Structure 1
Amino acid sequence: MTAPESGADPAVHVFIGKGGVGKTTCAAATALHFAGRGERALAISTDPTPSLSHIFGLPGHTREVRPGLEILELGLEQVRRMWDERFGRDVYAVFSAFVDVDYPTFVAFMTSVLPGLNEEFMVDHIRRLAEEGTYRPIVWDTAPLGQTLALLETPALLGEHLRMAPRIYSRIRTSGEGRESILEVLRRWQGLAEACMAFLRKRVRFTMVTIPEALAVDQLEGVFGEMRSHGLGVDRLVVNNVVKTEDSEFLRRKAEGQGVQLRRLRETYGDLPIQELPLFPYELRGIEGLEEAARLLYP
């Protein structure tokens, strides 16, 4: 497995997994754990419907959870605005060379239709936050898995695109004072994408969150393979909602089914640390509940 650079704590802890498996709970508990150790932690969510403030029991738009812990929720509109400020005009210069479209329509299309674009922007944003060093660590509660994996394809796609059509792009120039060639803009994007991938490989610790159900376990093999193909490894596997108390027929039968999937996980991913979070009879919400989860994740 590829891990953060030897001898250095990871700058960012990333929680990945399909929707509804408990990524936000794990991310929030992790941020709380590090804040409790005296670190200055930032929990950041890029889920289209972020829920960090809900799970901490905070009113909307609150940044500080407690001394040493802040949260930042970036929904679609916030990401769209930030992406526009950093990349919008650059990308529009290329796009408008081929398609006659007004700028607001272009931004709406780029940030809501193209898979992985928002997530790639967020990697760059988090990379810059990590380099500033204000927060250590940053805990990232990602969007559902499909969107997160889409960003991994971007450097390869740009590289292939540049190999296929350099003669075309080198002759088309963007509008504006600098009048860069489109080829120059694309090469700059490729460099940024490669820098983001290097950051993911060297400064990030990935935790996969899943549940002990057949479909969720079946999907893991493809996800692990996709990450390996890009030089990324998972550092830990968290299995959430595990039945620990079989005090009814329903729970007994559910535990039997989960047992099959837990054995599969141990046999397949036994080289990874595997941690189980129990199925709680109540919602893990607020500092007290999340501290309970943190104690289990970081015994």
Structure 2
Amino acid sequence: MGSTLEAEAGAESPAHRPLLVSLWGKGGVGKSTLAAALAISLRKRGLNVGLISTDIFPSIIDVLGTGKPGEWFEACGVQVLAVSKELASRMWRERFGDEIYKVFSLLFDVDKETLLSYLEEAPWILEQVYLMMVVEGLKRFDAVVWDTPGAGGGLLMLELEEKLYRHLRLAPRIYSKLRIGGHEPIDKIIKSWRKLAEEILQTIHSETHVPIVVVDAFGGEWQVREILHALESYNLKPKAIIVNRVVTGEVCQSCKPFSILAGIASGTLQVTKEIAISRGMEISTVPLVVPPPKGCKMLDKLSSLFGNINVLR
């Protein structure tokens, strides 16, 4: 599935755009931990960094050991937002509530609260706001690290945004004859919605967006190929792969379980390297850390592993 915006992308120079780094992978592979470490790594370079998690069950707060969903907070020198359904609902109503009621009240005899309460349960509404938060963050920070939901949820956001954009391209043909109070044409409102959807998709497909795939060393090659295929079907070309929780036989040579895990990790790493080379992608490895890194001190140490990723320079 290619982007519908390829022919309409703006000509703004990438050098003048902030950096967007997104992490993609299945749930439980350590994306939130690595997202926090990557954000700290970018902060060490002198950048003003925002870390945004669009997972409605955010692990990022547990990883950082502070904050709560739905509010910006500072942690480890980085500004952090873990979205919440309540925050997204409030933002959607504030930004679009009046316009949506103007449009739909011409078609249905319904009060505003009933209409908005019904529509905000639609599958694309809150996902649109989550993506909007990421784009808004890029207007505030030098770099934004985007901690996506488990791959299915993150890819659903992209799919719904593409469908919304295509729908809004056709909508003016249908609604252009309707006017609000006999004066303001509806297509003016719809075009403003389309412009936002266009901005979101252009950001996601821009040259300054660095999608990074995170895989678990114990997951096998199927997870690598599956995630890459899914992202590429949305015209997203990952620029790096991070293999997380790599364990070697040296960890405990007399421990049979570790030897077995080391063998699995070695196989995954070898296949991942071959895939990365064939696609011109960078590859980085993160060792298994027990217990998992939490808090600024441990995350700061982990962040040192990402200083050599060229696509982030």
DSSP-derived class of the 2:52 partner: strand
2:175 is aligned to 169
Match among 188, 198, 204 for residue 200 of structure 1: 204
TM-score (norm 2): 0.78
How far apart are 1:24 and its partner, in Å?
0.9
Distance in 2 (CA, whole Å) between partners of 1:163 and 1:71 is 34
Match among 231, 235, 238 for residue 239 of structure 2: 235
TM-score (norm 1): 0.82
Partner amino acid for 1:17? G
2:272 is aligned to 265
DSSP-derived class of the 1:269 partner: helix
How far apart are 1:277 and its partner, in Å?
1.1
Distance in 1 (CA, whole Å) between partners of 2:130 and 2:163 is 18
How far apart are 1:126 and its partner, in Å?
2.9
Distance in 2 (CA, whole Å) between partners of 1:238 and 1:255 is 17
Structure 2 residue 35 is matched with structure 1 residue 30: no
DSSP-derived class of the 2:199 partner: helix
Distance in 1 (CA, whole Å) between partners of 2:94 and 2:285 is 41
Distance in 2 (CA, whole Å) between partners of 1:111 and 1:101 is 15
- Asked if 1 retains the 8 angstrom alpha-carbon contact of 2:177 and 2:185, the reply is no
Runs of at least 5 residues in structure 2 that lack an aligned partner in the other structure: 1-5, 7-11, 309-313
Runs of at least 5 residues in structure 1 that lack an aligned partner in the other structure: none
Deviates more, 1:255-264 or 1:163-172: 163-172
1:37-116 matches, cutoff 5 A: 37-58=45-66, 60=68, 63-66=73-76, 68-98=77-107, 102-115=111-124
How far apart are 1:119 and its partner, in Å?
3.3
1:208-223 matches, cutoff 5 A: 208-212=213-217, 213-214=219-220, 215-223=222-230
Distance in 2 (CA, whole Å) between partners of 1:105 and 1:257 is 54
How far apart are 1:35 and its partner, in Å?
2.4
How far apart are 1:49 and its partner, in Å?
1.7
Task: Go from structure 1 to structure 2 and tell me whether the alpha carbon gap of 1:261 and 1:78 turns closer, same or farther (over 3 Å shift).
Answer: same
How far apart are 1:36 and its partner, in Å?
2.6
Deviations 1:252-286 (A, max 9, x none): 11222233322222222221111111111212101
What root-mean-square deviation, in Å, do the aligned CA atoms of Structure 1 and Structure 2 show?
A: 3.0
Distance in 2 (CA, whole Å) between partners of 1:205 and 1:144 is 18
Q: Percent identity?
A: 28
Partner amino acid for 2:75? V
Task: Go from structure 1 to structure 2 and tell me whether the alpha carbon gap of 1:237 and 1:152 turns closer, same or farther (over 3 Å shift).
Answer: same
Deviations 1:57-78 (A, max 9, x none): 2254672224x42222221111
**Which of structures 1 and 2 has the larger relative contact order (alpha carbons within 8 angstroms, sep 6+)?**
1
